[in-house]
C-alpha cells in the first residue's frame, strides 16, 4: 500500500491523500511490525538552496496517517511510514513481568539447524539491487524454507530494504536459527523488497492483541488509499 504512494511525485501524492498537516505525535502509533530502522542518502549539494529535501505528514481520514520523506529534489519520496490513529480500542503493549524464583534458571536450547545455511542479518545485508531468486538462494546457501523449526522471532523487523517499485508477484521466506528473512520478487523473479527478523521472544504479553488491532486498521487504510488512487 505504501509502495504505490512512493512511486508518485509530491503533487500527485497530495491529490490522493490531500494536504499535509502537522503530526500530533501522541495521537498516532506505528504498526507493531514496522521496522524502526531505515536509512536515507546523505549526499547533498554545496549550495544549500538546491537541497530541497523535507518531510510531510498526511492524515488518512480519522484512522491513520502517512509520513513521507522527500528527496533532495523536493518532489520524489525516499521513504514513507504508516501510523495508525489511536482510539479507545487501542491495546497498549504490556511488558512481561519477571518472576523471581530460588530455582536455578533452565537454559533454553536453541533449535538446531536442519541444514547449514546463511540465513542471517549479515548475509541479508549482502543482497544487491537487481539480484534474482537463484542468486539469493546461493547467498543463503539454501532454497526458501524453514531450516530451524521451533525458532521464535521478534515481531519487529531488524531491517527492511526496498530495491524497486514493481508489482509483487511472489513472496518467499527463509527461516534459520539466526534469522527469518522475507523476500518479494517481481514478475521476472528480481528482488523488490526484503525484511529481516532476528530470533528472540517479544518482551510484551499482548502482541497478538495488538497485531489484531493493527490488521483491522490496515484493512481500512488499504481500502481508503486504493479508492483514492483509483479515483485519481
The pTM of the full predicted model, rounded to 2 decimals, is 0.59
Average pLDDT over residues 131-154: 92
The Cα 115–Cα 101 span in angstroms is 37
Give the rounded distance of the alpha carbon of 24 from its chain centre: 22
Residue pair 99/78 in contact by the 8 Å Cβ criterion: no
User: Taking 90 as the threshold, does the pLDDT of residue 108 lie above it?
Assistant: no
User: Taking 60 as the threshold, does the pLDDT of residue 102 lie above it?
Assistant: no
Beta bridge partners, 95, equal: 204
Mean pLDDT, the chain, integer:
86
| pLDDT value of position 225 | 86
| pLDDT value of position 89 | 93
| pLDDT value of position 40 | 78
Residue 115 banded pLDDT, cuts 50, 70, 90: confident
Query: 112 CB contacts (<8 Å, ≥6 apart)?
Result: 148, 177
User: Taking 60 as the threshold, does the pLDDT of residue 110 lie above it?
Assistant: no
Q: Is 79 exposed, middle or buried (0-12, 13-18, 19+ CB in 10 A)?
A: middle
Q: Output the CA angle 124-130-133, nearest 5 degrees.
A: 65
Query: 200 CB contacts (<8 Å, ≥6 apart)?
Result: 152, 153, 154
The model's pLDDT over 167-186, given as tens digits with 9 standing for 90+, comes to: 889 999 999 999 999 999 99
The model's pLDDT over 202-218, given as tens digits with 9 standing for 90+, comes to: 777 788 899 899 999 99
Residue pair 203/155 in contact by the 8 Å Cβ criterion: no
167-195: b (≥16 Cβ within 10 Å) or e:
eeeeebebbbbbbbbbbbbbeeebbbbbb
Which of 37-41, 98-102, 225-229 has the lowest average pLDDT?
Answer: 98-102
Between residues 51 and 111, the one the model is more confident about:
51
Please say whether the dihedral angle defined by the alpha carbons of residues 15, 1, 161 and 94, taken in this order, is positive or negative.
positive
The Cα 68–Cα 47 span in angstroms is 24
Most confidently modeled range among 2-6, 19-23, 201-205: 19-23
77-85 and 28-29 strand pairing? antiparallel
Residue 111 banded pLDDT, cuts 50, 70, 90: low
Residue 150 banded pLDDT, cuts 50, 70, 90: confident
| pLDDT value of position 104 | 56
SS3 29: strand
Between residues 90 and 229, the one the model is more confident about:
90
Q: Which three cell numbers stand for residue 21?
A: 498537516
Residue 105 banded pLDDT, cuts 50, 70, 90: very low
- DSSP per residue over 187-201, as a string? TTSBEEEEEEE-B--
Average pLDDT over residues 149-172: 84
Neighbours of 82 (CB within 10 A): 21
58: left (phi over 0), alpha (psi -120 to 50) or beta: beta
Amino acid at each position: 500500500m505504501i509502495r504505490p504512494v512512493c512511486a508518485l511525485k509530491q503533487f500527485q501524492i497530495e491529490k490522493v491523500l490531500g494536504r499535509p498537516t502537522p503530526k500530533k505525535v501522541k495521537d498516532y502509533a506505528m504498526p507493531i511490525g514496522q521496522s524502526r530502522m531505515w536509512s536515507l542518502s546523505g549526499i547533498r549539494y554545496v549550495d544549500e538552496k538546491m537541497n530541497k529535501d523535507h518531510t510531510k505528514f498526511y492524515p488518512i481520514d480519522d484512522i491513520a496517517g502517512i509520513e513521507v520523506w522527500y528527496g533532495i529534489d523536493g518532489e520524489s519520496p525516499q521513504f514513507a511510514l504508516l501510523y495508525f490513529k489511536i482510539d479507545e480500542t487501542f491495546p497498549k503493549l504490556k511488558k512481561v513481568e519477571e518472576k523471581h524464583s530460588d530455582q536455578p534458571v533452565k537454559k533454553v536450547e536453541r533449535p538446531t539447524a536442519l541444514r547449514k545455511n546463511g540465513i542471517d542479518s549479515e548475509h541479508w545485508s549482502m543482497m544487491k539491487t537487481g539480484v534474482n531468486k537463484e542468486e539469493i538462494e546461493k547467498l543463503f546457501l539454501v532454497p526458501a524454507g524453514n531450516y530451524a523449526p521451533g525458532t521464535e522471532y521478534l515481531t519487529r523487523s531488524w531491517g527492511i530494504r526496498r530495491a524497486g517499485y514493481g508489482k509483487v508477484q511472489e513472496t518467499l521466506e527463509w527461516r534459520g536459527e539466526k534469522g527469518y528473512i522475507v523476500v518479494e520478487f517481481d514478475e521476472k523473479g528480481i528482488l523488490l523488497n526484503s525484511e529481516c527478523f532476528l530470533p528472540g521472544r517479544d518482551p510484551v504479553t499482548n502482541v497478538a492483541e495488538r497485531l489484531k488491532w493493527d490488521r483491522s486498521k490496515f484493512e481500512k487504510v488499504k481500502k481508503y488509499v486504493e479508492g483514492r488512487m483509483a479515483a485519481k
